[in-house]
Structures are given as C-alpha cells and as structure tokens.
Amino acid sequence: MLWFFLCVLLLLMGYFFYSKLIEKIFVINPTRKTPALSMQDGVDYVPMSKKKIWLIQLLNIAGTGPIFGPILGALYGPVAMLWIVFGCVFAGAVHDYLTGMLSIRNGGANIPYLAGKYLGNPAKHFMNVLAILLLLLVGVVFVASPASLLTNITTDLMNSGSVGVAAVNDEAGASKGSILALWTAIIFVYYIIATLVPIDKIIGRIYPLFGALLLFMTCGMLFGLIFEGIPFFRTVGTDISVFDFFKNMHPSNLPIWPILFITIACGAVSGFHATQSPLMARCTQNEKEGRFIFYGAMIGEGVIALIWCMVGLSFYDDQATLVEAIKAGTPAKVVYDSAVGMLGFFGGILAVLGVVILPITSGDTAFRAARLLIADFFKYEQRNLVKRLTIAIPLFAIGYFVSTIDFSILWRYFGWANQTTATVTLWVGAAFLYRNRKFHWLATIPAIFMTAVCSTFILNAGIGLGLDYQLSVWGGIIVAAVVALAFLTLLKPLTTDEGNES
C-alpha cells in the first residue's frame, strides 16, 4: 500500500513543484488576451471557468487509455507504476502544458499548424495526416470499449431479472450481439450530436455530471482495494521489494522496451492529448490558468492510471487468472469483474458507468477535433451547421467502416499512432523553447526518449518491419540520435529582429 501512495505523492509533487518550473521557463503573460476572449464565435471559442475547463480537459483526455493500458501494463509487474509516474511528470504533463499554451499563443491553433510553424511545412503536412488518422482511430476505439461494457451491464441486468425483463429477453431472443450493436449505434448518434453543437451546449453542461461518476469510480475502486482486504501486488506476489519494480514479470516475456511504453500511453504520455488541448485552449480566459488546466489534468489522469494498474496487480489471485480474463474479454472484463467483485453489483455498475463515460467523453471530442483539423486544413469556416455537416457526415461514415475491423488490430495501430503523435508534439514544444532561447531540454529529453521508443517499436513489431529485437533496439537508438543531432544543428534560434514569443 505504501508503494502506491508513494507513487501518488510523487505525482502531486510533480504538479506543485515541477509544473511551476515549466511555467517559469515558458514565461506566461496574464495580460495577453486569449483566443476565448478575442475570437469568440459561440461554437468552439467560448470562455469558461478554469474549474469547468479542467474537468472537461480531464474527461477529454482520459478515455479507456488510462484504464485499459495500465491493466495490460500490469502484466509486466510494478515497473508499470514507475512509467506512469515518471512518464506523467516529466513527459506527458509537459507535453500537454506546452501544447495547450502554444495553442493559446497561436489563436487556438491545432497541432499541425504548430508543427508547421516551429518545425516547418513537411512536419505540418505529416501531422495533419497523422492527427486525423489518430483521431479517427480514437473515435472508433472509444465506441467499441464503452459499448462492450454497457453490453455486459445490460446482459447481466436482464439475466438477473433485477429489472423484470428476463422473461421478455427470453421471448424476444435478444442476443448479446444485438445489444452490442444497439449500444454502438446509440454512442455513434451521441457523437454526431456532440460534434456538431456548440461546445458549451452539451460538453459544457453535462460533463460535470459525468465528472461526478468519474469521481465515484476513482474513489470507489481505491476504496475497494484498501478496505476489501485485497493484498496489494497479489497478482505478482505480495512480497515486493524496490528491485522488483525493475523486473519484467510478463508471462510471455515480452520486452519492457519498447512495448510497455506503447501499451501505457494515456496516464504517462499520449499524443491524443495534443489534439484535445487546443479545444480547451479556445475556452481558457487567462494564461495563468494553463498550469492548472493542462498540467493538472494530466496529473489527474496519472492518478486514475495508477489505480487501475493496482487493480491489475492486485485483484486476481495470480497472474495467470489476469491473463485469462484479458484473453476472455479484453481489459473490459477486468474492469467489470473487479468493479462488481469489490463494490457489489450495484456499486460495481456505478463504477463501470464511471469507466464508460471516459471513452465516450473522449470519443466525441476526438471527432470534434478531427472536424476542426479538416476545416482548418481546407480553411472552411464552421459557424454554419450545414458546413459542419459537410465534414462530419463523411467523417462518421469512414468511422463506422473502420469500426468493423478487429478490435485488437485497431488498438495496435492506435497505440503506435498515439505515441508517434506524442513524439512529434514534444519536438514541437522543444523547438519553441529552443528557438526562443529558453531551457529546451525539459521537452527535448522526453522527445529523444519517445523517438527511440517509437522507432524501436515500428522496426520490431508486427505492424512494422519485423526486424530482430536487438537490431531494432540499436536502430531505434540510432534514429533518436540522428533526429536529436538534426534538431540541434539545423534548427536556428530566433534573432532579436525576428522577435521572441514570450
């Protein structure tokens, strides 16, 4: 238990100390008018309070990633917790803060525009394609996972007869597949509506209610772990020493490098966040709120990731049972089993609903962000509903087609696209700091690290070249070194005449 609370403490220390250093290096300007005030359009540029924005930002970025990823990461053992803590503090939260603040400085601009401005037009075009692909994958993945959880809830309620419909279910011959299809359709319809209407009409109003469910889920699962007498680290053996935090315990002996750093994205560092922060940058009323909104929401996601990592490490009697549960029903089964097992049927249902709202609230903003990216690329204004539909309808049609692909394949491509986006975004933040003669290493070091991770993964994994593992590791290191050298030699600091953007 002490290990878990130590990890939470480190996350909080990251917010109260390291984030202040980041803010000091970035140099905020509280007197500068933000896009929320200077570019109000009643649709996407809408001033909101910082507490509401923080909650929306947390719900936007915290999809199934900080739940499914840490559960899968738990297969490696306690080392997963170390990646969540240090990845979140030194990479993920820095990534989110720089993205959000640079968007505020550039009129609420999306990440492709920022990539073009600070790294050049080739980076802009690459990020346009990559970001839209990522958002599409996120939207589809975040339809499948909540639909699966809602199907489990519906099926159990019907079979238990607790809602008096078991007989009706038998007579109608309703199958689990038809229930899944129904929930999938309902979520898609909600996404369409939420993508089209002004951001303060649905997202700004009902997300506080979703936030209450999220709070219940987070506190409920932590309560269950502590007060239900479940030994911490039971899945991998309760006698954990500090050295075990560095041991690879994966039953299939999959390498920690680089797969763990791809598996646990949200909760550590995630490129998806780079597509979401600009949404809230368009609603932030003062630059001094950025640290709380962007860095702080990432720390909140890190705490959620730690809790679910501990569920994976503790709920089942042994690692073999955890593996069986994941194989039987993806991490969604682990979520359902642990919530109902620790909190009882109805308490567990509420906790699962808290998990359900995370991907739903991320999926709708993923499609919204994709619509805005496409609109920005074609310079197609979005105040008119018909013009929003012109982009949204084809986007959702493609999304529905992609949703028919096997979930495991979708998740694999989502993981690579997500971390590759994070890598480029970290280089964008590093470029801004470097060109403005600020201490750029706070972004450059994690950018180099993630370049090595993504390069090694694509060289070795099934979706890549399939090279020998050792060769892929050295190849990833060489790629990271070459990119870092090019960054430091080819990118030039701004001159006094060009002006500093502080």
In a domain, 55, yes or no: yes
Give the Cα separation of 276 and 59 in Å (integer): 10
Q: Which residues contact 475 (CB under 8 A, 6 or more apart)?
A: 455, 456, 459, 467
**pLDDT class of 170 with cuts at 50, 70, 90:** very low
Helices (H), 48-175: 50-61, 65-73, 79-87, 93-105, 111-119, 121-160, 166-172
Among residues 153, 450, 88, the alpha carbon closest in space to that of 304 is found at 88
Residue labelled with tokens 């080819």? 490
Angle of the 203-227 helix axis to the 50-61 helix axis, nearest 10: 70
Q: Is residue 444 part of a domain?
A: no
Tens of pLDDT, residue by residue over 45-76, are: 999 999 989 988 998 888 778 898 999 999 99
Q: What is the pLDDT of residue 202?
A: 64
pLDDT in tens, 259-269: 999 999 989 99
Phi-psi region of 393 (alpha: psi -120 to 50; beta: other; left: phi over 0): alpha
Q: Is 439 inside any structural domain?
A: no
Task: Tell me, yes or no, whether 502 lies in a domain.
Answer: no
Instruction: Give the pLDDT mean for 486-498.
Output: 80
Residue 20: alpha-carbon gap to chain centroid: 23
Residue 328 reports pLDDT greater than 90: no
Is-contact 136 370, C-beta < 8 A?
yes
Please tell me the number of Cα atoms within 13 Å of 476 on its side-chain side: 27
- Report, as an integer, the average pLDDT of 309-320: 94
37-46 tens-digit pLDDT: 999 988 789 9
Asked whether the beta carbons of 267 and 301 are under 8 A apart, the reply is yes
Number of domains composing the chain: 1
pTM for the full predicted model: 0.87
Q: Is the pLDDT of residue 164 over 50?
A: no
Residue 118, domain CATH: 1.20.1740.10
Q: Is 502 exposed, middle or buried (0-12, 13-18, 19+ CB in 10 A)?
A: exposed
Cβ(456)–Cβ(476) below 8 Å: yes
Peptide bond preceding 258: is omega within 30 degrees of 0, i.e. cis?
yes
Instruction: Answer whether residue 481 is part of any domain.
Output: no
d(CA 84, CA 78): 10
> In whole angstroms, what is the distance from residue 354 CA to residue 218 CA?
8
Q: Is 285 part of any domain?
A: yes
Q: Which domain holds residue 23?
A: 2-403
328 in any annotated domain: yes
Q: List the single range of 18-32, 298-312, 364-378 with lowest mean pLDDT.
A: 364-378
